[in-house]
Amino acid sequence: MQEKAANHKTDMLNIVIVGCGKVGHTLTEQLVAEGHDITIVDTNDRVIRDTTEVFDVMGICGNGASLNVLEEAGIEKADMIIAVTGSDELNLLCCTIAKKVGGGISAIARVRNPDYADELVYLRQQLGLSMIINPELEAAKQIARVLSRPKALTVSSFARGHAELLTFKIPSGNVLDGKSIMQLDNIFSFGYLVCAVDRGGKVVIPGGQFVLHEGDDITILANTRDGHRVFESLGMESHAVSSCMIIGGGKSSYYLAKQLVGQKVDVRIIEKDRSRCEEMTKLLPEAVVICGDGGDELLLREEGIDSTEAFVPLTGLDEENILLTLYAKRMPGLKTITKINRITFNDVIEGLDLGSVVYPKYITSEMIIAYVRAKQNTIGSNVETLYHLFDSQAEALEFHVEKDAPVVGVPLMKLKKKDNLLIACIGRKGKIIFPRGQDAIQAGDTVIIVTTHTGFRDISDILA
């Protein structure tokens, strides 16, 4: 059960969201839950009507790049604009206009076209935007991380890539079955911390006496260089995949294939559209591109699905991705990752045992919510990274700590912390510290917190 949100004196933010598709709807839902004043703008009157009936938000039907529409949405008094329409150019234009008329407003734009992929930093700086997000690129990065640790369900990166949060299911007969948390030092000969355990849908921040069982989903934080040793120590496969079959030739497939070929992974892409196949062949000469139907069982077998190490369906249809994954999981030892954009039946999806599942809309919303919380913070710290764990029943947050934070210099054993909260690790000058009671947080540290509470904006929120 998720704990209540932290209490704050900070006023809620006035946020204008332009575009209410999958990402816009998810952002609206999560930002309303965090107590912000939201105005949505969309050209589809029905979308506006449906959204305002579900959430306590104001809706404006119109073009978000129109000055009149933005003024009607209250842009002059808004703290932030988030543009997530289907058009990259429109999103950039919305943010540019908002910056001109909304004094001091923060602007976030979604930009997905690969043509802009190498220019995002330049665009952000020249247009004065707070953030530019590419959901397909971020999803590809997450998929690539999981393929580097194929026994993991999810792999989350912290401390500028120096630490990894690994979630995996304890297999039948594994050495972890029946072991208490305090006994794990006999298994792991390196720095680690068990952060959370999901047992039958109930999430626990475990103490030393907690006993693990097969079937538990366990989350362990380790130094990135030791990530493979977590699985080696448990007698589980630890090497990154050397071959991958990708179904679909869209943006996500391009971004993922580009990363994988850079890591010397053999990549095969199956795409129906011939012109897109020709385009992908030019863009990715190191990959093998096959023109054909990825839903054709005979073609999949001919192209070696039974000998590849990873299978990632990235079609535009969630249902097709799910069916392809269920088929692929019949191949022994094959790592599968399923991308889901639209379907929201989480209980049904979990019941299908798909393994690793990636939701681009949630990746985007987590990045934006981390920024929103950082904007609300006190002078003591900044939220740098946010991940929701186990269907949002827990949060893992990374704070950058300033000298005025009330936790600085106090031994952890003397901090009066909230229950159901773990100080998982401290990043200090490029090193990862798994702290003990006598350790103290210093100014300039990054601190990773795992908790079942929600809404933490500042490191001081960990205090009772």
Q: Please enumerate in sequence order all residues whose Cβ is within 8 A of that of 71, keeping only pairs 6 or more positions apart, or say none.
A: 101
For 36-54, what is the HEC assignment? CEEEEEECCHHHHHHHHHH
Query: In the 8-state DSSP scheme, what is residue 31?
Result: H
Beta strand ranges found along 62-216 (DSSP E): 80-83, 106-110, 131-133, 154-158, 163-169, 192-199, 202-204
Q: What CATH number corresponds to the domain at position 56?
A: 3.40.50.720
Same domain, 259 and 332: yes
For residue 4, is it within any domain? no
Q: The tokens of 328 are what?
A: 């692929």
Q: What is the pLDDT along the chain (464 residues), one digit of tens a residue?
A: 455 555 554 568 999 999 999 899 999 999 999 899 999 999 999 999 999 999 999 999 999 999 999 999 999 999 999 999 999 999 999 999 999 987 789 999 999 988 888 888 899 999 999 999 998 999 999 999 999 999 999 999 999 889 999 999 999 999 999 999 999 999 999 999 999 999 988 999 999 999 999 999 999 999 999 999 999 999 998 899 999 999 999 999 999 999 999 999 999 999 999 999 999 999 999 999 999 999 999 999 999 999 999 999 999 899 999 999 999 999 998 999 999 988 667 777 777 888 899 998 889 889 999 898 888 765 566 889 999 998 889 999 999 999 889 999 999 999 999 999 999 999 999 899 999 889 999 999 999 999 999 889 899 999 98
Q: Is 50 among the domain residues?
A: yes
Q: Tell me whether residue 1 is in a domain.
A: no
Same domain, 25 and 117: yes
Out of 316, 333, 358, pick the residue that ends a domain: 358
348 and 375 fall within a common domain: no
The answer to whether residue 420 is domain-embedded is yes
Alpha-carbon distance 188 to 223, whole Å?
A: 12
Residues 346 and 412 in one domain: no
In this structure, are 308 and 341 located in the same domain? yes
The span from the CA of 72 to the CA of 68, in Å, is: 6
**Is residue 238 assigned to a domain?**
no
Domain hosting residue 257, numbered range: 243-358
Residue 253's closest CA among 224, 272, 280? 280
Pick the last residue of a domain from 323, 358, 393: 358
Predicted confidence at residue 99, as pLDDT, reads 93
Whole-angstrom distance, CA of residue 29 vs CA of residue 432? 35
How many distinct structural domains can be found in the chain?
4
On whether both 18 and 94 belong to a single domain, the answer is: yes
In a shared domain, residues 123 and 24: yes
Residue 353 lies in a domain: yes
Domain of 174, CATH number, reads 3.30.70.1450
- Of 90, 116, 133, at which residue does a domain stop? 133
